[in-house]
Amino acid sequence: MSDNEKIYPYRIFISYSHDDEQKAGKLRKYLDSIGVIPDYDQDIDPGMSFSREIKRKISYAHIFITLLTKNSKNKPWVHQEIGYALGLRVPNLTLSLDEMPEGMSEELQSMAIDTDLNDLPQKLTPKVLNKLFLSTQTEVSALYEFADMIYKRGDTLVKEATDIYHRYEPSMIRQKAPLSSFSVPNLPVSHPNWEKIESEEKLNLEIRKLLLQERIILEKHAQKAGCKIIINPYVNYESFPAHLHQRIFSIIIFRLSVLSQFIQNMPDDKIEVAFNMTSIEGYVQIIIGNWYTSETMSQAGGKDNNQTIFTNHAPTVLSKINEFDYEFDCLIDFMDIPQGMSNKEYAMNEIDKIRQYYASLLKEKGD
């Protein structure tokens, strides 16, 4: 590494002319050597839509770099890629080898580099890349996709999680929720156990299917890359009609049983659980690796009154990760886990206590 500053493994997309393929290869080799993840149009699998894959790569990039030369300055696709990156608000930098930026590339930050790229270690340092990324992280607003129906929320999340798993990599799952995606049955949607998570309003088979698909794909990620979940199982049941209280208690008891079974089946080094008894009721956050984040706020009024925002804007996702991890670590410290007890064992014990609490409430209501 060319300086002592640590660097995050940013995904960096390189836009270039094929006439400069050797230079692009040299840039990619250098970026790889300092610990970041270079990406460009050489990594597209056969059969994939070239244009669509380029856009996807740019949309997931932490930083966009243009290799500006006499060959690339007039290439339409280079300007199209620059425009797409600007539209998505991806942090960007132009490396000017023998040309000064003009046209679309004038809007990018620029750095003069020798035509042989031998001065990359002196100029394109980890410190420079960190500064570029961090400055835009506070200045740039992400573009979000919006869903106001549970169908769209589930469909969008499942598709993105599946795509990341198969096309890129299994990724760490971070989730903040009352009970988490892992508290719904991992069973066929026609199984009677699905009725145990339903109140007066039944879930149709399509919603059950989406909830099951969400659980399955997130569990696949978690089994390979691990998961951190923050839960708050205590529901303000007094806000519901009295005739629903028993049913609510039964649902929570059952879902906690399902969650406990999930935790038990996870490898010890792949699961961490924190409890936040003051979190916002109805709020659900899911972060998939450093690729994607979704946030849902459930409003009063039933299953169709949910609002979810999604983004794969890499600076925003990384910011959400940092916020989540800070909260998670604080909650873990507050939990004061006994010496010699694993987080997994502690979590299962606490969940059992909460189940007993709701069982006592259920008994009181039944008497």
Is pLDDT of 46 > 70?
Answer: no
pLDDT of residue 14: 95
Same domain, 150 and 211: yes
Domain count, the chain: 2
Q: Which of 93-102, 141-150, 168-177 is predicted most confidently?
A: 168-177
pLDDT of residue 107: 54
pLDDT of residue 256: 97
Same domain, 183 and 278: yes
CATH of the domain at 52: 3.40.50.10140
Which residue(s) pair with 308 in the sheet? 147, 296
> 169-178, 192-201, 324-333: lowest mean pLDDT where?
192-201
Which one is predicted more confidently, 245 or 236? 245
Same domain, 47 and 178: no
Same domain, 299 and 159: yes
Q: Decide: 290 and 314 in contact? Cβ < 8 Å.
A: yes
Is pLDDT of 48 > 80?
Answer: no
Largest CA distance in the chain: 84
Domain assignment present for residue 5? The answer is no
With pLDDT > 90 as the criterion, what percentage of the chain qualifies?
Answer: 64
Domain assignment present for residue 3? The answer is no
User: Taking the C-alpha atoms of 84, 87, 91 and 94 in order, what is their torsion angle to the nearest 10 degrees?
Assistant: 50
State which of 113, 139, 165 marks the end of a domain: 139
Same domain, 216 and 254: yes
Same domain, 195 and 317: yes
CATH of the domain at 265: 3.30.870.10
pLDDT of residue 142: 75
Domain assignment present for residue 112? The answer is yes
- For the segment 154-165, what is each residue's pLDDT rounded down to a tens digit? 999 999 999 999
Is pLDDT of 2 > 50?
Answer: no
State which of 118, 139, 160 marks the end of a domain: 139
pLDDT of residue 102: 57
The domain containing residue 70 runs over which residues? 11-139
Same domain, 242 and 164: yes
Domain assignment present for residue 19? The answer is yes
Same domain, 204 and 229: yes
Domain assignment present for residue 4? The answer is no
Average pLDDT, whole number, for the chain?
Answer: 88
Same domain, 133 and 164: no
Same domain, 114 and 154: no
Residue 79 corresponds to which amino acid? H
Which residue(s) pair with 286 in the sheet? 175, 294
State which of 88, 108, 139 marks the end of a domain: 139
pLDDT of residue 299: 62
Domain assignment present for residue 354? The answer is yes
Same domain, 220 and 290: yes
Contacts of 317 (CB under 8 A, 6+ apart): 287, 290, 291, 292, 293, 311
Q: Which of 22-36, 131-145, 238-252 is predicted most confidently?
A: 22-36
Same domain, 128 and 74: yes
- Segment 353-358 mean pLDDT: 94
- Segment 302-310 mean pLDDT: 73
Domain assignment present for residue 303? The answer is yes
Domain assignment present for residue 171? The answer is yes
